[in-house]
Structures are given as structure tokens and as C-alpha cells.
Amino acid sequence: MKLILPRAIEQELKTELIVAGTKEIGGVLLGEHVSEGVFRISDFTIQRSGGTVVSFIRHIHQSLKNRLSDFFNNTKHNYTKFNYLGEWHSHPSFELTPSIRDRKSMRQIVNDPTVGANFVMLLLVKSNEGEVEGSVSIFVPGNPMFQGELIKEEAK
């Protein structure tokens, strides 16, 4: 599976990573199904609290629920084309590999019937010499985690 990171979203991430410094931040990925196995990030949330130097815990606040509701309203509830893709968070001090806690959290999400996801992606990012580095891990119910491909989209 491939995840396209649009230039504008990459720039937003870059700014947020600089501000956060060594503290982990994260949020939710919302996106578009472009073609078979290819998805583009359309929007993402940013949670600046809940992170430390070694961990990030996402909290569900009303603002997150409102953001999701706005996204689905704006995409006319076309869930086949536009939907929740997964989660993202930074690993400013560590490798871009999901921790045991990351893998456990993502498995809980993908196996949660109220989420209703066929898969979820975990995008891990960090700033490296002013550039955003990232890796994508894919979680599918009943299958081992596997690596996806992150594609940085050039500005148009």
C-alpha cells in the first residue's frame, strides 16, 4: 500500500515537528482512495498534548469529533473515496519503527468493530535536517503488520 503525502501537509508537519522539538505529537489521518492500494492524505489532526520524549497518547476530544464530522460532511459522506486512514505521530528521538505500544494501539483500532476499518495506517515522522522523514506501517485484521510506501507529492 502507498500513502501520498501532499507538499502542503508535509510543510504543516514540518512546522509542527519544529515547534514540538523532542516531544512526541500526533493525530489522525484522513484521506482519499486514489487507486487500488494508493491513498492520499487529505487532512490530519494535530494533538500537541499527551506526548513526552518517549511516548504519545491520543486523546479523543470534542474538537477531534468535530473535525471528523466536518471532513465527512465536506466529502459528502463518500466513505468509499474519503475516509479515516489511521494515525500519525512523531518519533523525534527514535527510529521510525512502531514501538510495541504503537503496534498494540493500532491492532486495537483495526480490530474495533465500531471503527469499521478494513485496514489502518500508522505514519511515523521526524524532522531530519529540516526535512520530514516518514515511514508507513499497515495493520489489517488477522494479519501481521507490513510496511507501506510513503510518497512525497511534489508541489503543483
What are the tens digits of pLDDT across the range 20-58? 998 989 999 999 999 999 999 999 988 765 544 555 555
Please report, in angstroms and rounded to a whole number, the separation of the first and last CA atoms in the chain.
23
Per the structure, the complete domain to which residue 97 belongs is given by 2-152
Count: domains in the chain: 1
Q: What is the CA radius of gyration of the chain?
A: 15
CB 52 within 8 A of CB 23: yes
Running DSSP on this structure, what letter comes out for residue 141?
T
Contacts of 107 (CB under 8 A, 6+ apart): 139
What are the tens digits of pLDDT across the range 81-122? 999 999 999 999 889 999 999 999 999 989 988 888 899 999
Q: Domain of 40: which CATH number?
A: 3.40.140.10
Give the E-state strand segments of 6-81 in sequence order.
26-35, 38-44
